[in-house]
Amino acid sequence: MSLQLQIPPEFNDRLKEELKDVYVSAMEEAKRDFGYMKEYLTIKEACQFVSVSNNTFMNNFIAEGLPVYRVNNKQYIKKVELNNFISQHRVN
């Protein structure tokens, strides 16, 4: 015994649109989250990651020894080193 179901074309079109919306939304979210998976951050991204201004980052992180990598005149911070740096400055 087989069951056949007829789906109206409008349903099919609507389903395609809904799936497209879900896909676009997921891709936008993945682009935003990609920064959290990156191994190296630009100075700007590192500032955003730790929620401080550029001046605070330069004066309190880099000046206190956080390693900086330079490639083609662009500076990068290794994310794991940034996390370790913060962990080493535990208050209590």
Q: Flag whether 2 is in a domain.
A: no
- pLDDT band, residue 41 (cuts 50/70/90): very high
Query: Is 3 inside a domain boundary?
Result: no
- Cα 84 to Cα 41: distance, rounded to the nearest angstrom: 14
Give the pLDDT of residue 69.
97
Judged against a pLDDT cut of 70, whether residue 1 lies above it is answered with: yes
Alpha carbons 87 and 8: distance in angstroms, whole number: 59
Q: What is the pLDDT of residue 12?
A: 86
The number of distinct structural domains making up the chain is: 1
Distances in Å between the Cα of 14 and the Cα atoms of 4, 8, 11, 24 are: 21, 10, 5, 15
Residue 5, pLDDT score: 83
Mean pLDDT of all residues belonging to the chain: 90
Residue 4 placed within a domain: no
Write out the H or E segment, with its range, that includes residue 71. Answer: strand 69-71
pTM, 2 dp = 0.61
Domain range for 19: 10-88
Strand partners, 32: none
Residue 14 lies in a domain: yes
Kindly state whether residue 67 falls inside one of the protein's structural domains.
yes
Backbone φ and ψ of 39, nearest 5°: -80, -35
